[in-house]
Amino acid sequence: MYKEIDHTADVAYEIKSESFEGILKEILNIIKENYKPKNINCSIKHTQKYKIAENEDGLFDVVNDWIAAIDLGFFPIDIRKHSDVYISEFCSYKGLEGEKFKALTYYNLNIEKTNTYFYTKVVFDV
């Protein structure tokens, strides 16, 4: 579950999920909602494996890799955990109807864990 929150210059969201993988999936949904990719073609697809720590650095690295891949013509469509590796799938696309992010920032990036949930706030530079 995510919701947009007020931020003076950039775009910010508050995210709550039962897992780190869930946080990544919510961010992927945020990217899809904002970018609005057109003509996704999964006949041209590739995967990327990430061996990351489940912390702010891992989140930062994966999300900014997605943003870079979009600039190269591949849109992230899925992320899943397999053993100790995260696997992201990318498909080619033909254009965007929405807004692009420049990057995920480290501004106030903090993942809090409770017994049940992971909480974080993310800020995207636009």
Q: CA–CA distance from 83 to each of 10, 52, 115, 121, 122 (Å)? A: 35, 12, 21, 26, 26
How many domains are there within the chain?
1
Amino acid residing at 57:
D
CA distance 83 to 11: 33
List the CATH number of the domain containing 86.
Answer: 3.55.10.10
pLDDT in tens, the chain (126 residues): 887 777 666 899 999 999 999 999 999 999 999 999 999 999 989 999 999 999 999 999 999 999 999 999 999 999 999 999 999 999 999 999 999 999 999 988 999 999 999 999 999 999
